Amino acid sequence: MHIIKSAQKLSHYLSVLRIEIENVTVGFTPTMGALHVGHISLINASVENNDITICSIFVNPTQFGDQNDLDKYPKPIEKDIALLIENKCDILFLPSYEDVYPKEYEQKEFDLAGLDFKIEGASRPGHFQGVSNVISRFFEIIEPTNAYFGQKDYQQTVVVKRLIKILKLPVILNVEPIKREPHGLAMSSRNIRLSEKGRKNAAFINEALKQLKEDVPSLGITAAVTKAKQFISAQKGARVDYLLAVDTTTLDSVDKYKGKGQTAVVTVVEYEGVRLLDNIIL
């Protein structure tokens, strides 16, 4: 595996590769490191379907509203490198802040059709503009054929889909299913901040979402959501930041089932001081 830290060197390497190999396909997975099975599933999907697989590790400060959250973000780089090598990643892009955002770069305000102000965006102002800026830069540097994102960060996948559309990029967005801990908690780099007991107990989030899906036909969405909130709130130490049923395209709140694949239930639960994201597609 090549480790490339310079955006210019990566662009040049890929330019030469595209000359040497006709119709070469490039798969790209952007991460902030602290890799887990969820990330590796994205790498595996890329390796299976592309000639070259690139993973970036960059803890993007522009998408953190809370400096404390940024400071606490785990950075086990040696373990990450070993995992990428083991899973046949071709290139690790490990840029500095200056490589991603050179002096001449001006942070952009993308027209995200209001997606950046909804759900997670309501409690994290500027987060999805930060995501859009870094992803647009990576797409500019790498020019991938395919980009791989996880369903766990559902709102992010909807935002990236919008970003690809407004930038008119020939990038295919691939959204891979949520990977879960043995007890059901959605895998996340933040999970290592939970105690061992908390990591097991937090399976109640997934339990609530699965029960909600079963309840919708008999109770309707509004009552099923209320029941799920009550269940989670009853767990010791758990606080529901939000739990909402939304349209899978617009992210607007919905109170009626719209058909298979058209409604998602998204949630963030604070537990042991960690914000845990999860979702389910109805």
Contact in structure between 27 and 87 (CB atoms under 8 Å): no
Supply the pLDDT for residue 110. Answer: 97
Name the residue with tokens 């919008």. Answer: 162
- DSSP letter at 266? E
pLDDT of res. 189: 87
Q: How far apart, in Å, are the Cα atoms of 22 and each of 15, 18, 19, 45, 106?
A: 11, 6, 7, 22, 34
Question: Catalytic residue at 39?
Answer: yes
Nearest partner of 9 among 95, 77, 78, 106, judged by Cα: 95
Residue 278 pLDDT greater than 60, yes or no: yes
- Split at pLDDT 50, 70, 90, the class of 61 is confident
2-176 is classed CATH 3.40.50.620: yes
- Domain segments of the chain as ranges: 2-176, 189-281
Given this model, what pLDDT does residue 62 score? Answer: 66
Confidence of residue 76 (pLDDT cuts 50, 70, 90): confident
Residue 133 predicted with pLDDT over 80: yes
Q: Can you give the pLDDT at residue 191?
A: 92
Enter the pTM of the model.
0.92
Report CA 32 to chain centroid distance, whole Å.
Answer: 10
Rounded-to-integer distance, Cα 18 and Cα 26, Å: 10
Q: Taking residues 161-188, report their average pLDDT.
A: 97
Residue in 2, 12, 36, 39 annotated catalytic: 39
Relative to beta strand 238-247, strand 263-271 is: antiparallel
Q: Answer yes or no: are the C-beta atoms of 193 and 34 closer than 8 Å.
A: no
Q: Name which of 64-68, 193-197, 248-252, 267-271 the model is least confident about.
A: 64-68
pLDDT, tens only, 87-115: 999 999 999 999 999 999 999 999 999 99
Tokens of 100: 């991603």
Look at domain 189-281 and name its CATH class: alpha beta
Angle ∠(14,17,21) on CA atoms, nearest 5: 140
pLDDT: which is higher, 55 or 124:
55
Structure tokens at 229: 């909130």
Please write the tens of the pLDDT for every residue from 3-26. 999 999 999 999 999 999 999 999
Residue 282 and residue 244: Cα distance in Å, rounded?
12
Mean pLDDT of the 42-58 span: 98
